[in-house]
Structure 1
């Protein structure tokens, strides 16, 4: 054996020994794998609250089959829940495979800092798991049966991941995203909001947080407007419609939004510029759009006006009803005029002048007119 082969063999053996030392190996039939984690609060009165933490588990049988089970433990705090749970489990559970961290609305409105601490401080957990808020108790969602999916957690993971395709939703719904947003100046946490409908689990909007507390639930239309104004490089669909027979659908992607911030006396002014480019996918409204550049330009201008109108409607609601900086303008102002000045950016943005400029560009018209 030459020196090179000997060195490779020695290196491989060393790596194997290093990895193997101190590891406790067990057959998979003796383990329970966590695929979803829930956090609920049960309040009997204003002073006392019981913590309820369901786990969605994958259990592997000796014959190679797999079943999904939900176990729930309760306690006066998260630490007590963990201790109580371990006393009843007859198998060791494996962390790091969980795909969803689901928070009951009551817990979310009380504050999720304890959840962030519980997940981030544990090196075995998956910090790339999706986070979401649910209407009611998370335990109810984990018990929903979804045909074709191994567990409700797998279905919810796919639901959140796919939601950004047509709704301008961000992909920043993971655990580590929450960790960096809840304490950052001028930034806010936004998470998917899930509900159980007749046909199963659905995403019905977004939950908006002030620091670590949920303060708003935004419906589907407001969620799209918020996402369009707040995020860079998101995809979605916009439509113009006069009647059930006259409409046009446009699917595209925004670029990096440009935000300019000015200070006029003691008041702030923001200008948001968004470019939205993509393809016409349905057209029952603009005849000859594929051949006539003037028709195409008219459609672009009409869609720009419609999108700007929707943006201003949301901004008006944001400033006068919610009185919150839902679209992250405080972050831009803090970057320009200085951080840590004890400025309430929610108040600043609620009283600021905000201008929106949308530029639509039609790249293609699909396969053209039929």
Structure 2
């Protein structure tokens, strides 16, 4: 029995020593771990384009903890930026854990298709990290330090992820989403638009793309309405205001349904928006009974319809683009790959918004 145990013990020791030699564990301090990266371009006088790919990498210091710095690659092709970047780094780069990807404004205007295809094809890149467009250069946003965070990438990631709690933003904007939208018929890409105001990084609106090029930047109020009409569901705050001192704030969830028809070669859409939520602040009414509650629901419905119709008019007459992915529903019902310009068709379409508001709670007290 003792001999058998000794034999097993020797085998365990031998096998363990073999695998220990083969298994090489590298400390994280020996890598440049990327917290986020970006894309910028520089246009020369000869119309040549230089790609600028800044990477924010963590720095691990015993006394000060984590911080970050930028390592930037520059070249005339996206792939060659990797070579230039490595010439400025004393460690290999680890890019599979990035928090955020930032596209500079000029690069977004120039076109992002090659960048998306190259990144999506790279198995080392985290294809579920969120992507945003920034005012100015992504390099400046990545280099900006936010108090309490090891890098601006960590802060921006949290800002984008928590944005879905308000303003009806979706939960994510990833490489997977972008690749799917760019390859789909009847869809236009939209991405969060951030900027540096004084020393604060803020979410300022939405960048709207026509194919792979940025066409417009929507301010936050328009972005909020677009998200309500575009997404299947979302959360946000709506207000009914009569004066600076008299208003109601309504925190609500919304669900959207789209019905599509075609009559005399003109597309018709009915967008049903169903809101359900709570009154979180009321300075408009002293007491709210059931009758008054129904009246508030009707007033909110009318106000939301007015907002939506105003946005739809601007979308059709000024932007002249399908910002609501209505072309996707038309293509699914009446056939794909027909050569239809869905931006034009939706701009000429009849679109009706039907709003239903339901108040669940009116709060403990009234003001």
Is the alpha carbon distance of 1:162 and 1:186 closer, same or farther for their aligned partners in structure 2, counting shifts above 3 Å? same
Q: What is the DSSP-based 3-state SS (H/G/I as helix, E as strand, rest coil) of the residue aligned with 1:42?
A: strand
Is the alpha carbon distance of 1:182 and 1:363 closer, same or farther for their aligned partners in structure 2, counting shifts above 3 Å? same
User: 1:298, 1:91 → 2: CA distance?
Assistant: 65
Aligned residue in 2 for 1:112: 112
Deviation at 1:248, TM superposition (A): 0.5
In our comparison, the structure showing a higher alpha carbon Rg is: 2
CA RMSD of aligned residues (A): 2.1
Aligned residue in 2 for 1:209: 209
Task: Answer yes or no: is 1:273 the counterpart of 2:275.
Answer: no
User: 2:22, 2:168 → 1: CA distance?
Assistant: 47
User: 1:129, 1:228 → 2: CA distance?
Assistant: 23
Is the alpha carbon distance of 1:276 and 1:83 closer, same or farther for their aligned partners in structure 2, counting shifts above 3 Å? same
Aligned residue in 1 for 2:100: 100
Aligned residue in 1 for 2:89: 89
How many residue pairs align between the two structures?
353
Deviation at 1:60, TM superposition (A): 2.3
Normalised by the length of structure 2, the TM-score is 0.92
Would the aligned equivalents of 1:182 and 1:210 in 2 still touch at CA under 8 Å? no
Deviations 1:173-229 (A, max 9, x none): 122111110120011211000111024111110001112111110011110110010
Deviations 1:126-173 (A, max 9, x none): 011110000100011011121111110011111111222120111231
User: 2:316, 2:91 → 1: CA distance?
Assistant: 52
User: 1:167, 1:117 → 2: CA distance?
Assistant: 30
Would the aligned equivalents of 2:58 and 2:66 in 1 still touch at CA under 8 Å? yes
Would the aligned equivalents of 1:31 and 1:59 in 2 still touch at CA under 8 Å? no
Aligned residue in 2 for 1:41: 41
Residues 1-370 of structure 1 correspond to what in structure 2 (within 5 A)? Answer: 25-45=25-45, 47-61=47-61, 65-255=65-255, 257-289=256-288, 292-369=289-366
User: 1:301, 1:240 → 2: CA distance?
Assistant: 11
Deviations 1:317-345 (A, max 9, x none): 00000000001110111111111111111
Is the alpha carbon distance of 1:21 and 1:193 closer, same or farther for their aligned partners in structure 2, counting shifts above 3 Å? farther
Name stretches of at least 5 consecutive residues in structure 2 with no aligned partner: 2-15
Would the aligned equivalents of 1:308 and 1:357 in 2 still touch at CA under 8 Å? yes
Normalised by the length of structure 1, the TM-score is 0.91
Would the aligned equivalents of 1:36 and 1:99 in 2 still touch at CA under 8 Å? yes
User: 2:53, 2:164 → 1: CA distance?
Assistant: 28
User: 2:21, 2:297 → 1: CA distance?
Assistant: 64
Is the alpha carbon distance of 1:285 and 1:199 closer, same or farther for their aligned partners in structure 2, counting shifts above 3 Å? farther
User: 2:172, 2:211 → 1: CA distance?
Assistant: 16
Deviations 1:94-122 (A, max 9, x none): 12110111000111111111111221111
User: 1:24, 1:320 → 2: CA distance?
Assistant: 62
Which segments of structure 1 move beyond 2 Å, counting only runs of 4 or more? 19-25, 59-67, 366-370
Would the aligned equivalents of 1:234 and 1:254 in 2 still touch at CA under 8 Å? yes
Deviation at 1:54, TM superposition (A): 0.5
Q: Which is further off, 78-87 or 268-277?
A: 78-87
Name stretches of at least 5 consecutive residues in structure 1 with no aligned partner: 2-15
Deviation at 1:368, TM superposition (A): 3.7
